Amino acid sequence: MAAEQIAHHREEAEIYEGEAVCKQKSRLLLEEILLPRGLLPLENIVEMGHNRTTGFVWLKQKHKKEHRFRAIGRTVSYETEVTAFVEEHRMRRVTGVKTKELFIWVNISEIFVDDPASGKISFANSAGIARSFPLSTFSLQEEQQHNNNNNVLLIR
């Protein structure tokens, strides 16, 4: 299914290859659509594509990846192909992303920030059930460390 969608949107897409450039472009895309840059902690990305006309994005990585977001105690699984339609504050029709709820894996179909002032990001499945978490949970590690260093209060 993902391969068919990629083929359909490939013709007019900006396509990047190679791990370093793909990681950089994926973070820039997340920044562009006003989502946290640590939302897709993928490794060994071999290809990234973005069709700006349709909003379709894909990322291909060598191996499936599981990542634990320690701050919220959630494990997320990223398949070798992750796709979505993107727009400001939102990723729709997401494929290739699952989260573990209790003992089962649940597909994530939408990621969005309804109210940026709330500081919350929501993840929904196709049944419409959503969970919200602090946006800061999905910042890049170096951004979190920088913020922590800036929040140090010196008392003399």
Q: Compute CA distances 131 → 111, 113, 123, 128, whole Å.
A: 10, 11, 5, 10
Stretch 12-38: mean pLDDT = 95
- In angstroms, the CA 47 to CA 44 distance is 9
Is pLDDT above 90 for 124?
A: yes
Q: What is the pLDDT of residue 128?
A: 87
pLDDT for the residue 152: 44
Do residues 124 and 114 touch, judged by C-beta distance below 8 A?
Answer: no
Q: Which residues of 25-40 are buried (b: 16+ CB within 10 A; e: fewer)?
A: bbbebbeebebbbbbb
pLDDT at 39 over 90: yes
| Centroid of chain to Cα 74 | 14
The amino acid that residue 33 corresponds to is: I
Query: Is pLDDT of 139 > 50?
Result: yes
Indicate whether 79 pLDDT > 90.
yes
According to the model, what pLDDT value does residue 65 have? 95
Percentage, residues of the chain above pLDDT 70: 89
